[in-house]
């Protein structure tokens, strides 16, 4: 039995027209000989009577605080509603389908309400339905503990549901349907001429996601990379197969990659809403450790870390900049803050072995009149911190410089 897991996010199921398109994609897979397993996100939005925000507001009318266990019970409702409605849409196109909660689908988690970790998947119930000719429609974002408590999987939980089911069912593919045609050379809303990347390795895709692309959640991407389950990032509005994420051997076999990959850059990702800090150690090198200890003790995650003998520079999410200011002031550090900033990252192949890539980056941004506030690099990435107001211009300049509109 050939199995495909198809995940439809909230933007793909929130109207009847979109649900019909989703149902058509499921039927196409069924007619191609696949046994489809569908994962859905919540379709409710603020203001709708069944929306999560509406239900939370209703509960808070009675008492403002909701304990974590009951909140997860409430949060799970949106996906359960979506699964039943999607079953009805599938029946409308002639398919037999059954709705399952995460727990009924065999997703067993720990007891970390709000951000539970999947411990294992027991797929026997799904497999039985598939053998009987049903499409299994699973409520994403949720699971159940060993003792029957409903949990939610945190941000990107429906992507995680799809991938762990793909692993457990040994699916041929996990299809992630989004509002773009696939993984692109850049965000098409910023660079209209951005191209679809038809094939990526797990490592390449994981790096693009880690640097800010929102096509699939990084937790789900990490699971896919570890267990080597092929992913296709696709669009409801496109007949193509989108982007295939798998191992290099499969990409070569499918004609989506040649082994002599000549280009050092194939995609540009970004993260906005950042704040840069530059802190001085005032001639006391022992303060280096204390600075990072203080940030860790207060649960502050830092990025783009540059460490020098007398100072350091790092980046945090803008949401915690006041917290960081308080910590540094209390610890007696002299510091400067620049905000708002954005990180623009070039993702490629073997950058460390290719002289001249950084000079091209600097040249492109200089010619665009954009100041580089900070940089970092690895074997496959070069990241530049710029003022947030310059972010889109920087992305377009770099896309042109590396001729990514000609990549595909």
The DSSP line for 121-177 is: E-THHHHHHHHTTPEEEEESSEEE-TTS-EEE--TTHHHHHHHHHHHHTT-SEEEEE
> Tell me, what's the pLDDT at 408?
55
Whether residue 203 is annotated as binding a ligand: the answer is no
Distance CA 143, CA 392 (A): 39
19 found inside a domain: yes
Low-confidence ranges of the chain (pLDDT < 70): 44-48, 258-262, 350, 352, 407-408
End-of-domain residue from the set 192, 224, 259 = 259
Distance CA 143, CA 103 (A): 5
407 found inside a domain: no
Whether residue 335 is annotated as binding a ligand: the answer is no
301 found inside a domain: yes
Whether residue 7 is annotated as binding a ligand: the answer is yes
The rounded mean pLDDT for the chain is: 91
What count of residues does the chain have?
408
282 found inside a domain: yes
Q: Does residue 180 sit in the same domain as residue 319?
A: no
Q: Does residue 278 sit in the same domain as residue 322?
A: yes
Q: Does residue 115 sit in the same domain as residue 213?
A: yes
> Tell me, what's the pLDDT at 407?
65
Q: Does residue 352 sit in the same domain as residue 211?
A: no
140 found inside a domain: yes
Q: The domain spanning residue 215 has which CATH number?
A: 3.40.1160.10
Task: For residue 402, give the nearest of 349, 342, 323 by alpha carbon.
Answer: 349
Whether residue 178 is annotated as binding a ligand: the answer is yes
Q: Does residue 50 sit in the same domain as residue 169?
A: yes
Contact status, residue 114 vs residue 74, Cβ threshold 8 Å: no
H-helix segments, 188-340: 202-210, 218-227, 248-253, 287-297, 321-330
Q: Does residue 181 sit in the same domain as residue 207?
A: yes
End-of-domain residue from the set 237, 259, 281 = 259
> Tell me, what's the pLDDT at 377?
87
Whether residue 79 is annotated as binding a ligand: the answer is yes
When divided into structural domains, the chain yields a total of 2
Q: Kindly write down the DSSP assignment for every residue of 238-250, as one continuous string.
A: -SS--EEEE-HHH
H-helix segments, 169-246: 202-210, 218-227
Whether residue 52 is annotated as binding a ligand: the answer is yes
Q: Does residue 302 sit in the same domain as residue 388?
A: yes
100 found inside a domain: yes
Whether residue 9 is annotated as binding a ligand: the answer is yes
Whether residue 338 is annotated as binding a ligand: the answer is no
Q: Does residue 210 sit in the same domain as residue 323?
A: no
Whether residue 215 is annotated as binding a ligand: the answer is yes
Q: The domain spanning residue 344 has which CATH number?
A: 3.30.2130.10
End-of-domain residue from the set 259, 289, 317 = 259
The single-letter DSSP state of residue 206 is H
Residues 6+ apart with CB under 8 A from 12: 18, 21, 22, 177, 178, 179, 236
Q: Does residue 167 sit in the same domain as residue 106?
A: yes
406 found inside a domain: no
Q: Does residue 184 sit in the same domain as residue 231?
A: yes
Q: Does residue 290 sit in the same domain as residue 389?
A: yes
Distance CA 187, CA 367 (A): 22
Enclosing domain of residue 333: 267-401
251 found inside a domain: yes
User: Do strands 265-280 and 150-152 pair parallel, antiparallel, or not at all (unpaired)?
Assistant: unpaired
pLDDT digits (tens, 9 = 90+) for 113-168: 999 999 999 999 999 999 999 999 999 999 999 999 999 999 889 999 999 999 99
Distance CA 197, CA 207 (A): 14
pLDDT digits (tens, 9 = 90+) for 71-85: 999 999 989 999 999
> Tell me, what's the pLDDT at 266?
87
Q: Does residue 224 sit in the same domain as residue 279?
A: no
């Amino acid at each position: 039995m050939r199995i495909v897991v198809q995940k439809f996010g909230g933007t793909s199921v929130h109207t009847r027209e979109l649900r019909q398109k989703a149902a058509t994609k499921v039927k196409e897979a069924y007619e191609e000989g696949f046994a489809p397993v569908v994962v859905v996100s919540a379709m409710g939005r603020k203001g709708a009577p069944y929306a999560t925000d509406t239900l939370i507001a209703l509960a808070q009318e009675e008492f403002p605080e909701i304990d974590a266990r009951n909140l997860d019970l409430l949060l799970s409702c949106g996906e359960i509603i979506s699964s039943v409605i999607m079953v009805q849409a599938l029946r409308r196109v002639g398919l037999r389908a059954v709705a399952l909660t995460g727990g009924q689908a065999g997703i067993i988690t720990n007891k970390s309400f709000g951000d539970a970790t999947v411990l294992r998947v027991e797929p026997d119930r799904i497999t039985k339905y598939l053998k009987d000719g049903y499409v299994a429609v699973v409520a994403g974002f949720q699971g159940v503990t060993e003792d029957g408590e409903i949990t939610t999987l945190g941000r990107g939980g429906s992507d995680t549901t799809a991938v762990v089911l793909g692993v457990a069912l040994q699916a041929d593919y996990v299809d992630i349907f989004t509002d773009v045609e696939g993984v692109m050379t850049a965000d098409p809303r910023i660079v209209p001429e951005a191209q679809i990347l038809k094939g990526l390795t797990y490592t390449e895709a994981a790096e693009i996601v880690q640097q800010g692309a929102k096509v699939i959640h990084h937790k789900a991407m990490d699971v896919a990379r570890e267990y080597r389950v092929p992913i296709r990032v696709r669009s409801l509005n496109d007949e193509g197969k989108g982007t295939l994420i798998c191992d290099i051997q499969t990409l070569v076999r499918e004609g989506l990659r040649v082994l002599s990959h000549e280009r050092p850059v194939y995609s540009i990702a970004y993260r906005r809403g950042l704040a840069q800090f530059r802190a001085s150690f005032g001639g006391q090198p022992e303060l280096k450790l204390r600075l990072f200890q203080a940030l860790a003790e207060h649960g502050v995650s830092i990025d783009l870390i540059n460490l020098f003998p007398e100072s350091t520079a790092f980046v945090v999410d803008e949401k915690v900049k006041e917290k960081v200011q308080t910590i540094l002031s209390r610890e007696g550090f002299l510091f400067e803050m620049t905000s708002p900033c954005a990180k623009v990252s070039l993702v490629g192949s073997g950058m460390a072995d290719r002289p001249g890539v950084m000079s091209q980056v600097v040249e492109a941004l200089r010619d665009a009149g954009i100041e580089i506030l900070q940089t970092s690099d690895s074997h496959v990435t070069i990241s530049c911190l710029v003022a947030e107001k310059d972010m889109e211009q920087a992305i377009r300049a770099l896309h042109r410089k590396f001729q990514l509109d000609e990549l595909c």
